[in-house]
Structure 1
């Protein structure tokens, strides 16, 4: 990230919200058998809620 100097000794960073970020769909369709939405933290695995 780039810091912007506001005044001597004061700096600021650019912030982004969800409105600034977009997710574009893929042109290629994925088969459900090829994709996994499981996730894990350490030894704990989580599947589809």
Structure 2
């Protein structure tokens, strides 16, 4: 959905983490059959999580643990 800002400028609606909810689906999948790998450029990760090691966003210990599990963690 695009929002008109004026003078020919538009913006897209973005969602914050508190606006997203995951709900169970109608089907059940055996976890051993699921592949959660994803790739950005030449970076491949095991789990689809991107975190930032900033105090107000993700605790440093949590960022380290997410990285160990295969998430992409930014230190800036």
TM-score computed with the length of structure 1 as normaliser: 0.45
- Bigger-Rg structure (1/2): 1
